[in-house]
């Protein structure tokens, strides 16, 4: 991790810790103000409900409410099998099975706390059930309110910066691949650059997904995460060229043309209007290769076959971006490709 990445990670941790601390205190204060029993549990519920995105928090709050009533029913039935902690254990087993089956395992801790309250008090009256429900409402209510305080504008600026960065690095990599294909001496491994960028893009996808899940109102912005997914697919294709290019034993005229085409692509990484030109130029090269005289040696034959396969991979590289662009709305197109 770079120093900048460590500082960013530190800020994210600090903000999350601050939200959890403040949210827990507010939930407890509200519960105490209303005279609820087990008021500290409202803070615990808030702590366990504050997640990194708004949509995750909303979804979790919804499942908490439903699982609360299931927990009350299960505890009530288990309690009437007899009193004691054995019955609590039976209730927990049933709740665990239920949560796992419906995919709500992240509700287990809150349900266990609420169940413990029932078995500790031996009280299943309407007033006590209401007390526990209010604890839940205060906890998830505070979590929802705090989830609204997110710096989505800052996140969007970071995403745009990441997009510029990825395009810059892809230009570097395409230039290095052209040099590698021309058997130029390299001061470092282009394949290390490919692997590093691949890992960085995976992190950018996570950030784009968080931005998407923190958006409010209207359609959620999927296009940023889709953009990085598109770039990740393109990088995977460039990575797959490694073994192919290593097998080229002789530099042919076709190899020089392929290197020139990589430089042509490099200059158009951030250009969306030249995709058709890139595609047509590539197909012209493929057709020219078919018309050229047959290779005279085995090495020439193998090298030309590998180059032909490389060009087909580059066709996939272009088609991935063409498909992505074709699925964008006009507004999404502007946000992705018309950047300052």
pLDDT in tens, 306-327: 788 888 899 999 999 999 999 9
Residue 298, pLDDT > 70, answer no
Cβ-in-10-Å burial (0-12, 13-18, 19+) of 46 comes to: buried
Which of 181-185, 199-203, 259-263 is predicted with the least confidence, judged by mean pLDDT?
A: 181-185
Cβ-in-10-Å burial (0-12, 13-18, 19+) of 58 comes to middle
Cα-Cα-Cα-Cα dihedral sign, residues 157, 158, 164, 167: negative
What residue ranges of the chain are covered by domains with CATH 1.20.120.940?
152-337
Whole-number pLDDT of residue 230? 96
φ/ψ of residue 202, rounded to 5: -60, -40
Percent of the chain at pLDDT > 70 equals 90
pLDDT at 2: 62
What's the CA dihedral at 221, 223, 224, 230 to 10 degrees?
160
| Coarse DSSP helix, strand, coil percentages of the chain, rounded to the nearest 5 percent | 80, 0, 20
Residues 15-51: tens digit of each pLDDT: 888 888 999 999 999 999 999 999 999 999 998 888 7
What is the value of pTM for the model shown? Answer: 0.76
Per-residue pLDDT band for 295 (boundaries 50, 70, 90) equals low
User: Distance between alpha carbon 275 and the CA centroid of its chain, in Å?
Assistant: 27
> Is the pLDDT score of 191 beyond 90?
no
Are 181 and 279 in contact by the 8 Å Cβ rule? The answer is: no
φ, ψ at 186 (rounded to 5°)? -110, 140
CATH architecture of 152-337: Up-down Bundle (1.20)
User: Looking at the chain, which runs of residues are DSSP E strands?
Assistant: none
**Which tens digits make up the pLDDT trace of 80-123?**
876 677 888 899 999 999 999 999 988 999 999 999 999 888 88
The per-residue pLDDT for 219 is: 66
Chain mean pLDDT for the chain: 86
């Amino acid at each position: 991790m770079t120093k900048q990445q460590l500082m960013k990670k530190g800020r994210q941790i600090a903000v999350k810790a601050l939200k959890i601390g403040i949210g827990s205190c507010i939930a407890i204060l509200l519960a105490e103000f209303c005279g609820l029993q087990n008021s500290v549990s409202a803070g615990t519920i808030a702590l366990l409900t504050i997640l990194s995105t708004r949509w995750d928090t909303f979804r979790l709050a919804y499942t908490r409410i439903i699982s609360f009533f299931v927990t009350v029913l299960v505890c009530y039935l288990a309690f009437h099998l007899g009193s004691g902690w054995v019955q609590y254990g039976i209730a927990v087993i049933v709740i665990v099975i239920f949560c796992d089956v419906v995919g709500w395992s992240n509700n287990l801790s809150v349900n266990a706390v609420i169940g413990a309250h029932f078995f500790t008090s031996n009280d299943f009256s309407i007033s006590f059930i209401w007390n526990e429900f209010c604890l839940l409402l205060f906890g998830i209510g505070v979590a929802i309110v705090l989830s609204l305080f997110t710096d989505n504008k800052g996140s969007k600026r970071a995403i745009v910066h990441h997009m510029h960065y990825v395009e810059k690095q892809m230009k570097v990599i395409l230039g290095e691949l052209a040099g590698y294909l021309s058997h130029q001496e390299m001061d470092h491994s282009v394949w290390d650059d490919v692997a590093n960028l691949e890992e960085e893009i995976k992190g950018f996808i996570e950030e784009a997904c968080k931005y998407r899940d923190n958006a409010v109102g209207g359609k959620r912005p999927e296009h940023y995460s889709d953009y990085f997914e598109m770039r990740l697919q393109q990088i995977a294709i460039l990575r797959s060229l490694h073994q192919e290019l290593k097998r080229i034993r002789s530099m042919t005229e076709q190899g020089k043309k392929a290197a020139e085409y990589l430089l042509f692509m490099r200059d158009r990484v951030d250009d969306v209007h030249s995709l058709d030109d890139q595609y047509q130029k590539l197909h012209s090269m493929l057709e020219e290769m078919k018309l050229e005289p047959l290779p005279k040696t085995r090495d020439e034959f193998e090298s030309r076959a590998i180059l032909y396969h490389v060009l087909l991979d580059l066709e996939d590289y272009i088609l991935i971006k063409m498909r992505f662009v074709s699925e964008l709305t006009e507004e999404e197109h502007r946000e992705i490709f018309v950047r300052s």
